[in-house]
Amino acid sequence: MRADFKLESSHERARAGTVTIPNGTISNGTGPRGSFETPCFMPVGTRGAVRHLDAVDLKNLGTSVMLANTYHLMLRPGADLIAAMGGIHAFTGWNGHILTDSGGFQIFSLDAKATDEGATFRSVYDGSECQLSPETAVQRQAQIGADITMVLDVCPPAEAPREEQEIAVKRTALWAKRARQEFQKTSAETQAQFGIVQGGTHPDLRALSTQQTVDIGFDGYAIGGLSVGENRPAMLDAVDACVDHLPTDQPRYFMGLGDPVGIIECVARGVDMFDCVHPTRLARHGTVLSDAGRYNLSNAAHANSDEPLDPAFTNSPAAHLSRGYLRHLLATHEPTAARMLTLHNVAWMLRFMGRIRDSIADGTLDTLRRETQDLWA
């Protein structure tokens, strides 16, 4: 079973289409059962919820896919509990698609010890020693019950030397083979599984990792280990090296990218799916995404403003509230402020993805790229 990509419009390498999961069981009311449109941005619900939002909010915003994190969910509340509650959709009340990251990024950001067998790490909750292997990552995600699951990969830091990147590529490929074998035994009838490409900012390692991953054969493919501190030209060169070797009839996912320039440049290179905590984290700290750029609502200049957060975004969930009022809520630490700014920023990001999709269809992507560069670079 594959997650198939149906092309609907294109502009040079950029593409707009529909991803279909043949065995998908979920529809959020915006498309056929088991399908969603691309380019797609996935809000991050690390522990099963996007901060300050619930499943009804996500549906009203038009979200197609929410991302959750296997590392956190398997530790709390535990994959066994989620399975006993009927799986992640029943547990969270979210009837849209869910993609679970394997937790590899979190594990290696916490100085995990890796061998060819798997990774050993300490729980961020109680300090206990935990193990995760390619096989158990598949098993935990099967218990959680996501629609799209990710293999366990080795994600070295951006500044890691080439020798460390080479080891990561080799071990990621080894783990990917084992993860695919386990998936085909346990989960292939109910879930899709994406492979992950590593290689740092070395185009030759990226090409090698991509080809190795494609040769194993997954339902879709993700570009991992980027947007972690490297400069943008190096990031985009690495993306090019991956996309050049990826199938055209399957989805392509850049993991952990949320800035508008990065997203539109990667879309222009043929990437379909994105996730990031960027819009929600900014909102919690008072930063607003708008058609005029981003700004911090805490600044005194907004204290007496009766303007909405973004006058150009009339359908914002916060359009009925003034900047002055929301700044007051921020200043008094009223939780409503974080909630309303989160709703606005997620809605703005989803609208931005829709604008990109439309620009691919009508041939104006280059214009939107220039406008985005001028505003956000």
Active-site residue numbers?
Answer: 101, 275
Residue pair 246/307 in contact by the 8 Å Cβ criterion: no
CA distance 64 to 97: 6
Q: At residue 29, what is the residue type?
A: G
C-alpha R_g of the chain: 20
* Direct distance between the N- and C-terminal alpha carbons of the chain, in angstroms, rounded to an integer: 40
Instruction: Give start and end residues of each alpha helix (H) in the chain.
Output: 55-61, 70-75, 79-84, 88-92, 104-109, 134-144, 162-186, 203-216, 232-243, 260-268, 278-284, 323-331, 335-362, 365-376
Residue matched to tokens 């809605």 = 347
The alpha carbon of residue 212 and the mean position of all alpha carbons in its chain are separated, in whole angstroms, by 23
- Using DSSP bridges, classify how beta strands 192-197 and 220-223 pair: parallel, antiparallel or unpaired: parallel
Residue pair 276/258 in contact by the 8 Å Cβ criterion: yes
Q: At residue 180, what is the residue type?
A: R
